[in-house]
Structure 1
């Protein structure tokens, strides 16, 4: 059987013609070629029309694009190879015509847009790669050629000069873009890249904000758990101390009983009958103290009011803490802006006030301890200017700060 291809003895590549063998030798410096009866595969992708010269190339194309259907046209191109084709391109037109008539098919480099080719070469692409990109991208635009190079940069034949049959119809190259069109296209690409970058930055900012909120919540929850564990630890420690004290008293009582029984034994007395009734202790008339009882101070009344508020709503710690913070805001505004009436007047029917303070038992009582009075039929709480006592307001602020920051406030 006549040879239908040339096989490179160095890498095993199959080549369709002497010209391809010469190009292959120029690119790889391989020089060991022999005639082979194995035809060069011609697998054409049914989806995009890309020709593949080997099974490996078709597998790479499938992996990259997902196209799996290929038409095997190897038999159409598997014709005896001519070894008489000159390797140099110094033929006359008559010699070329005679050569074309002596072989069934001749492969040549396809015509591409020279301006686009020069632009691609100026960008650093090799001539063979730039020519292949322009040919397979439709020879239409610089952007399409660059995109083709990016998509096919892993192809094994990316740097091989493309070859087409002289008998096949070659599509005329489309006119290149004018400088103005190139400028407008470049501006569109820059604007598209800018918008994409802005969208990515906004997305990253949203992700960072979500992460910050999540970390903040985790820190607050960890702090709350730590405070709760500390409170439980202190309660358990106090309980253990009480149990230890109780056991110590019981030991002392037993020791006294044993000493008493020992003394009775030494004196020859019978053991004490535990069932015998003990003489009742004489009733001691309680003497009334003649010392005057010190009345509770304003600060103590405030502290007790806040304790009662927390105890009455112990099942809703968040609402109690918000009430303390709201009361601290009212007291602070009254102390800092005592000359402005709006900071010393509170509408009791205000929904926000009712939800935060008025609806909790003890909230309004605390404000009354600070000097606020109900006026206009109980519609407002008002602190008269002549009754602003900075010492009382400062004490109220201190008690509220303690109630907010002390995790054990109101527990005992």
Structure 2
């Protein structure tokens, strides 16, 4: 069977003629073409007469227009493809003249349709490519700018919308007379531009409104986050001040008791009778009553940390500088882990490190405090290590609060 189409070996597109293949090669730089017995589809819409060259094109046309009835005229339009120059059958015409006539006939087989150059220039000014503008004017009847723009909107998904349209050279297309005067056409074109401008402005305003709503939402979220952070900070400061006041009260109470004991001891040494117990009794119930309120504190480990720091200060009260260095070093360890919980270097301490030994390691209470923070001895007691899954921010914050209290409260650990 003779070939009825040319097939592009690069993309598989079927073409009706050599001219279409040449145009396809110019547009795509494809060069592998061969004859094919598969005819180019010619599906004609029964409603509007639009020809569709593929099933995809007909589906797109149905989706845009709702037209679903097509007549398959592929067999009627299929013609054998001739790649060689046809010989002239007339004996009195020489071969040179026949070649010229054949080449002329072949080159004039498909040509670009003539369209209104003013309307074409208007469409190009509006931003349309020349091929798309020419196709729109040709298929819309070459009557007006508005009709061409409407055609582009309806056919913007066509696969060949940006290809220059071609029609047979012997087809005379008479451009219908425009139904509008030049002045009316100018007015219509101005209306189209104004409509496009207004549509663009509306889209920009809508986008700006959406952006403003997003900015307001983000602003509200930031304000709420800031409010929560400030509220938490106020609660933390309030709890810290309450703990400091409680510590001061307990320190004063211990000092008072110590003074009372010293006074009783002096009276005993002097041989004086002790004071009337009734005068001393009131202080004892008050202490017991206050002590009964201590269990309401939420963290038992916090109490253990406070007692550990108090023991450290009392056991080394003769070396205040060493105690302060130990407190500050422990605060640094707790702060580093709380700030960078994923950094292993802040969660692992070599016990034999000289600096660590000089500051904390030589103090039994310092090691105990780190263990209360979650550190564990590993590798035979060579390292203190806090596993990542055991990092407790609440415990670390409590440790920081207790260390700040121990450093800044002059009554901390007096007795």
* Length-normalised TM-score, structure 1: 0.45
Tell me which protein shows more helix as a share of its residues: 2
